[in-house]
Structure 1
Amino acid sequence: FHSVDEELGPDQRWSTWLEVERGSRGPEPRPSWVVTEQAAIDTELGVLKTGKEADVFLLERAVEAIGDNPAKSSLLAAKRYRTEEHRSFHRSTSYVEGRRTRNSRDSRAMAKKTSHGRSVAAGQWAYAEWDALNRLWKAGVPVPYPVQVDGTELLMEFIDDGEGGAAPRLAQVRPSKELLGVYFEQLRNGMRELARAGLAHGDLS
């Protein structure tokens, strides 16, 4: 007898898709590329970006062919929020203001800023972004598809540049005049849908 975990590499884990609550999985209809099989393995491929409140990693979720079911794989962006002591952004309270946890133990831990409380607070960041992405996706705003949220980790669609790398930030793009017009229309339509969803974008970079 041996544990199946021994077959996984140091940067691998079994898919957490079925471990999260139903409301923590992406909205339907789900894109065909979303891997939902329990036998899928998550492999961390590296860091995409580091930020003030979170780091983003590139993750591959894949499952081998089983019987008549073909192999499937997809690349995901795994955004992992840091706890307060590891965060360089000090205005975090304004981003989760008004959000309260129903668990009294969690509330006390957050008030006392214990290790558990800091972990709960970091999770609130992830769930706040999860909620916003879901609302925007359903409203038709061109945002990455939210795959799942689990504690302080938010998994979302990885948007590439067509050449295997991550898509650049808007501020780094130097498009042609014709393509710029397409981008502008997409941005305007997105902002219109954003307003209809009752939200405002604070960073268009």
Structure 2
Amino acid sequence: MKTPKRIEPLVEAGLVDEVIRPLMSGKEAAVYVVRCGEELRVAKVYKEANKRSFRQAADYQEGRKVRNSRDARAMAKGSKYGRKGQEDAWQNAEVAALFRLASAGVRVPKPYDFLEGVLLMELVDDGEGDAAPRLNDVDLHPDDAREFHAFMIHEVVKMLCAGLVHGDLSEFNVLLDPGGPVIIDLPQAVDAAG
């Protein structure tokens, strides 16, 4: 497969050896399966602000704080500098949340690197090398459903203890690998106190 332009910096930096195939594309990013040495990983390429389709983008950012008052003013005014700052903050939110939640023991894909709007992270697989299915795409026995529900409640508690709220947790943002549910898609994560 031809390397997408946005992944080229990762290839040049030696972080990605080959783009295998597209995995999926959503409202905020396109995800590709990539080879890094002997491992398969995913590269999540964030879409630029003018190519995303959020109906409630402001709601997703409500609990976020900007430390620099100049940046906060620029973002509030909507200046070119402010829009770039907002974009950077939005993209960095998932990266920061993944590292924070992984260190808190929450089942999320392991993040490896973030470069120029591309997040390189673990490929959550089905145990046979294919991408794990979303919870929404799996028919569960009632006993399994109850077990996964209890597990997810514990994961939500761990997230809250780490100070984060997912912001968009649903059956579409949970993958099912052989070890159970894995929470994905965290760009809407916000500070729990916010």
With normalisation by structure 2, the TM-score equals: 0.68
1:123 pairs with 2:98: no
Q: 2:18 aligns with which of 21, 36, 43?
A: 43
Residue 35 (structure 2) aligns with = 60
Alpha carbons of structure 1 residues 195 and 86: separation in structure 2 relative to 1, 3 Å: same
The one-letter code sitting in structure 2 at the alignment partner of 1:204 is: S
How far residue 186 of structure 1 moved from its aligned partner, in angstroms, is: 2.5
- Give the number of equivalent residue pairs: 166
**CA contact 1:48–1:57 (8 Å) conserved in 2:** yes
1:180 deviates by 3.5
1:15 shift after superposition: 4.7
Measure, in 2, the Cα distance between the counterparts of 1:89 and 1:81. Answer: 13
Q: Distance in 2 between matches of 1:85 and 1:77?
A: 24
Larger Rg: 1
Query: Identical aligned pairs, as a percentage?
Result: 30
* Cα deviations by residue, 1:17-71 (Å, 9 ceiling, x for unpaired): 9x6xxxxxxxxxxxxxxxxxxx564311222111111111111111xxxxxxxxx
Query: 3-state DSSP class of the match of 2:165?
Result: coil
Q: Distance in 1 between matches of 2:82 and 2:22?
A: 27
- Taking a change above 3 Å as real, the CA distance of residues 117 and 61 of structure 1, as seen in their structure-2 partners, is farther
- In the alignment, the residues of structure 2 paired with residue 145 and residue 43 of structure 1 have an alpha-carbon distance, to the nearest angstrom, of 19
Q: Distance in 2 between matches of 1:101 and 1:155?
A: 26
What secondary structure sits across from 1:195 in the alignment? helix
Tell me the residue number matched to 1:180. 145
Which residue number corresponds to residue 204 of structure 1?
A: 170
* Post-superposition offset of 1:195: 2.0
Alignment-derived partner of residue 188 in structure 2: none
Q: Which structure is higher in RCO with an 8 Å CA cutoff and minimum separation 6? A: 2
Q: CA deviation at 1:138?
A: 0.9
8 A Cα contact 1:83 1:119, kept in partner: no
Q: Counterparts of 1:181 and 1:106 in 2: how far apart (Å)?
A: 44
Q: TM-score, normalised by structure 1?
A: 0.65
Return the offset for 1:165. 2.0
Q: Residue 113 of structure 1: CA displacement?
A: 5.3
Structure 1 position 132, deviation (Å): 1.0
Residue 117 of structure 2 is matched in structure 1 by: 152
Q: C-alpha distance in 1, partners of 2:59/2:142?
A: 38
Output the CA distance in 2 between the equivalents of 1:57 and 1:198: 30
5+ unaligned residues in a row in structure 2: which ranges?
A: 172-194
Matches within 5 A, 1:1-205: 10-11=2-3, 13=8, 15=10, 41-62=16-37, 73-97=38-62, 98-100=64-66, 111=77, 114=80, 120-201=85-166, 202-205=168-171
What root-mean-square deviation, in Å, do the aligned CA atoms of Structure 1 and Structure 2 show?
3.3
1:114-144 deviations in Å (ceiling 9; x for gaps): 4x76555333222101111111111111111
